[in-house]
Amino acid sequence: MTVTDTRPVHTAGSPDEPWWRQAVIYQVYPRSFADSDGDGIGDLPGITTHLSHLAELGVDALWLSPFYRSPQADGGYDVADYRDVDPLFGTLADFDALVARAHELRLRVLVDLVPNHTSDEHAWFRAALAAAPSSPERARYVFRDGRGPRGDEAPNNWRSTFGGPAWERTTSPDGTPGQWYLHLFDARQPDLDWSNPQVRAEFESVLRFWLDRGVDGFRVDVAHGLVKAAGLPDWDGPATLAEERDHLAAVASGGASVSGDGLVGGGLSAAQRVADAPTVVDAGTGEPVTGAGHHGPAWDQDGVHEVYRSWRAVLDAYPGERVLVAEAWVEPLSRLARYVRPDEMHQAFNFPYLTAGWAPSTLRRLIAASYAANDAVGAPTTWVLSNHDVVRHASRFGLADPTHRPNGIGARDEQPDATLGLRRARAASLLTLALPGSAYLYQGEELGLPEHTSLDDELRQDPTFRRTKGEQLGRDGCRIPLPWAADAPGLGFSPTGAAWLPQPPEFAPLALDRQRDVPGSTYELYRAALRLRREHALGTGGLTWLPGYPDEVLAFSVRDVVVVANFGTAPVDGPEGARPLLASPDVSASPTAEAGTVPGASTVWFIR
Smallest CA-to-CA distance from 33 within 118, 98, 125 is with: 98
Contact between 583 and 604 (Cβ < 8 Å): yes
Give the Cα separation of 580 and 595 in Å (integer). Answer: 8
Vertex 502: Cα angle to 498 and 508 (nearest 5): 95
* DSSP code of residue 141: B
Contact between 339 and 357 (Cβ < 8 Å): no
**Binders of ligand GLC in range 230-269 (CB under 6 A):** none
Q: Please identify which residue in 35, 94, 193, 221 interacts with ligand GLC, judged by CB under 6 A.
A: 221
Instruction: Detail the DSSP E strand segments found in 323-431.
Output: 323-326, 347-348, 382-384
Of residues 31 and 273, the one with the C-beta less far from ligand GLC: 31
State which amino acid sits at residue 296: G
Question: Minimal distance in Å, beta carbon 189 to ligand GLC?
Answer: 6
Of residues 88 and 222, the one with the C-beta less far from ligand GLC: 222
Vertex 396: Cα angle to 395 and 400 (nearest 5): 105
Closest residue to ligand GLC in the complex (CB): 77
State which amino acid sits at residue 537: A
Question: Minimal distance in Å, beta carbon 221 to ligand GLC?
Answer: 5
Of residues 336 and 491, the one with the C-beta less far from ligand GLC: 336
Give the Cα separation of 69 and 553 in Å (integer). Answer: 47
Of residues 446 and 462, the one with the C-beta less far from ligand GLC: 462
State the catalytic residues.
Answer: 221, 327
Of residues 9 and 226, the one with the C-beta less far from ligand GLC: 226
Q: How many CB atoms lie within 10 A of CB 226?
A: 24
Of residues 409 and 562, the one with the C-beta less far from ligand GLC: 409
Q: Please identify which residue in 35, 43, 74, 94 interacts with ligand GLC, judged by CB under 6 A.
A: 74
- Applying CB under 6 A, what is the total number of residues that bind ligand GLC? 9
* Binding-site string for ligand GLC from residue 481 to residue 520, where x marks contact by CB under 6 A and - marks none: ----------------------------------------
Question: Minimal distance in Å, beta carbon 230 to ligand GLC?
Answer: 23
Q: Please identify which residue in 77, 82, 507, 556 interacts with ligand GLC, judged by CB under 6 A.
A: 77
The residues with which 562 forms a beta bridge, in sequence order, are: 557, 606
Question: Minimal distance in Å, beta carbon 283 to ligand GLC?
Answer: 27
* Binding-site string for ligand GLC from residue 290 to residue 329, where x marks contact by CB under 6 A and - marks none: -------------------------------------x--
Question: Minimal distance in Å, beta carbon 389 to ligand GLC?
Answer: 5
Instruction: Report if residue 185 touches ligand GLC, rule: CB under 6 A.
Output: yes
CA atoms within 13 A on the CB side of 416: 33
Q: Please identify which residue in 114, 268, 409, 578 interacts with ligand GLC, judged by CB under 6 A.
A: 114
Establish whether the linkage from the previous residue to 297 is cis, with ω within 30° of 0: no
Question: Minimal distance in Å, beta carbon 590 to ligand GLC?
Answer: 36
Find all residues with CB under 8 Å of 156, minimum gap 6, and list them: 147, 167, 232, 233, 234, 235
Give the Cα separation of 282 and 251 in Å (integer). Answer: 11
Of residues 67 and 77, the one with the C-beta less far from ligand GLC: 77
The DSSP element (H or E) to which 423 belongs, if any, is helix 418-434
State which amino acid sits at residue 448: G
Give the Cα separation of 346 and 50 in Å (integer). Answer: 28
Q: Please identify which residue in 120, 282, 344, 389 interacts with ligand GLC, judged by CB under 6 A.
A: 389
Question: Minimal distance in Å, beta carbon 388 to ligand GLC?
Answer: 6
In the complex, the residues that contact ligand GLC under the rule CB under 6 A are 74, 77, 114, 185, 221-222, 327, 388-389
